[in-house]
Amino acid sequence: MRTLPVELPGSEYKIEIGAGNLRDSLLSAIRQFDPERVVTVTNSTLEQFYPAQIKKLLEPEGYQNDTCILPDGEEYKNLETLQRIYDFLMEKKANRGTVMVAFGGGVIGDMAGFAAATFMRGIKMIQVPTTLLAQVDSSVGGKTAVNHPLGKNTIGAFKQPNHVSIDLEFLKTLPSRELQAGYFELAKHGLTHDRELLDFLQEGKLEPLDLDFLEEAVFRSCRVKARIVEQDETEAGLRATLNFGHTLGHLIETHCGYGTYLHGEAVGTGMLFAAFLSKQEQLLDPSSWETIREFLEPKLRSVSLPQLDYDLFSSLLLHDKKASREAVNFILLREIGSCFIQKEMPLDLIWKHFTGFCKEFPNLCQLTTD
């Protein structure tokens, strides 16, 4: 098991990464927090694959655990489902001494994290991420949120976890499509901040699963994220670079309906577009662009965007139908492993390059009329 500390003054925590390490990692954190009770938040799919997983670990050690089982899917990442967590916490008489365990992917981690941030003005929480995406990205750094119909992750809070237990064994039951989606967020950390991580990924293969390769990749990915979060916990500047690929990614998710494309898939398309934009604006050299294209293109899923015109594109980027601003900040690449925030990039310029991107990659991204 490898340990990565996150050094945030007043909210330090450890990320523990291994295979088959859940029991040791979780129990040692729970013993340290010594909670009055534990509430686990998970979903119906995890409960099917791993019935009462957390309860079975904790109850023999004398910790009472109640499990809140939510419906599965990005389309349930909303205020209504959040209310179910609060209802459950109230029914079970949870209090400030309760520790919450988020057992699942990024959807569960983000929703449970937001519930833990707000219930009784904040209770302790442990992330047990079970998807590759959650292990390399969402379980670390304390962004929690639910979606609004008009904008992804628009209602949320910063709430660092008190501990993160990453057990790679869970990836053995993860569908291949989900694995691939998580791989894009892993590659994001290499593309934007760590050339060596990208080189490492290019040397290995995601499938068939190789847990040694993944342990190293997850460790490096969490390290990139942890170092950035330590410098800019609440996204005053630097942390925004972790949103590379997310401008178009969030637009795809919101416009096509949450759950139509997986978050990681939408971000993957967004990353290729952000690299394309960087190349078109002569900020990224053609040979780095080619390397990125060769790496990403074969892994991407085809995305179809119905009835998307400039007005809708703009309002989706601005999260506001009546917004009068004509520009957004955009994360671009300078080279592989180095990115920057292009402030106030004009929307018409982004649209021009986006339509060019759709023409160059008709099999990956189509604007359709139906």
Verify binding: residue 141, ligand GLY, rule CB under 6 A.
Answer: yes
Tell me which long-range contacts 357-360 makes (C-beta under 8 A, separation of at least 24): 357/272, 357/273, 357/276, 357/277, 360/276
Name the minimum Å distance from CB 201 to ligand NAD. Answer: 17
Verify binding: residue 159, ligand GLY, rule CB under 6 A.
Answer: no
**Residue of 188, 250, 255, 353 marked active site:** 250
Tokens encoding 71: 């419906």
162, interface contact from ligand GLY, ligand NAD, none, CB < 5-8 Å by kind: none
Name the minimum Å distance from CB 54 to ligand NAD. Answer: 13
56 is catalytic: no
- For residues 240 and 256, which CB has a smaller minimum distance to ligand GLY in the complex? 240
2 is catalytic: no
189 is catalytic: no
d(C-alpha 103, C-alpha 72), whole Å: 12
235 is catalytic: yes
Verify binding: residue 242, ligand GLY, rule CB under 6 A.
Answer: yes
Name the minimum Å distance from CB 143 to ligand GLY. Answer: 4
Torsion sign (Cα): 248, 250, 254, 256: positive
**Residue of 193, 223, 246, 255 marked active site:** 246
Which residue do the tokens 């594109």 mark?
313
Spatial contact of 41 and 70, defined as CB atoms under 8 Å apart: yes
243 is catalytic: yes
Name the minimum Å distance from CB 242 to ligand NAD. Answer: 8
Name the minimum Å distance from CB 242 to ligand GLY. Answer: 4
Specify the amino acid at residue 53: Q
* Residues in binding contact with ligand GLY, number by CB under 6 A: 6
Name the minimum Å distance from CB 232 to ligand GLY. Answer: 9
Which stretch of DSSP H or E encloses residue 124? strand 124-129
21 is catalytic: no
Point out which residues pair with 143 in neighbouring strands. 158
d(C-alpha 241, C-alpha 259), whole Å: 24
263 is catalytic: yes
| Closest residue by Cα to residue 19 from 43, 1, 38, 41 | 1
239, interface contact from ligand NAD, ligand GLY, none, CB < 5-8 Å by kind: ligand GLY
- For residues 16 and 185, which CB has a smaller minimum distance to ligand NAD in the complex? 185
Verify binding: residue 239, ligand GLY, rule CB under 6 A.
Answer: yes
- For residues 46 and 284, which CB has a smaller minimum distance to ligand NAD in the complex? 46
d(C-alpha 69, C-alpha 73), whole Å: 12
185 is catalytic: yes
- Burial code (b: 16+ CB inside 10 Å, e: under 16) for 95-116 equals eeebbbbbbbbbbbbbbbbbbb
Verify binding: residue 263, ligand GLY, rule CB under 6 A.
Answer: no
Binding residue for ligand GLY, selected from 143, 152, 163, 353, defined by CB under 6 A: 143
227 is catalytic: no
Verify binding: residue 270, ligand GLY, rule CB under 6 A.
Answer: no
- State the DSSP code for 138: I
335 is catalytic: no
Contacts of 220 (CB under 8 A, 6+ apart): 189, 194, 196, 197, 200
**Residue of 185, 233, 253, 265 marked active site:** 185
3-state secondary structure of 285: coil
Name the minimum Å distance from CB 77 to ligand NAD. Answer: 5
Verify binding: residue 137, ligand GLY, rule CB under 6 A.
Answer: yes
d(C-alpha 117, C-alpha 333), whole Å: 34
Residue span binding ligand GLY (CB under 6 A) among the ranges 33-41, 104-112, 237-245, 319-327: 237-245
Pairing of strands 2-6, 13-18: antiparallel
**Residue of 235, 319, 334, 352 marked active site:** 235
Torsion sign (Cα): 130, 212, 336, 289: negative
Tokens encoding 55: 């309860």
Binding site for ligand GLY (CB under 6 A): 137, 141, 143, 239, 242-243
The residues carrying an active-site annotation are 121, 143, 185, 225, 235, 239, 243, 246, 250, 263
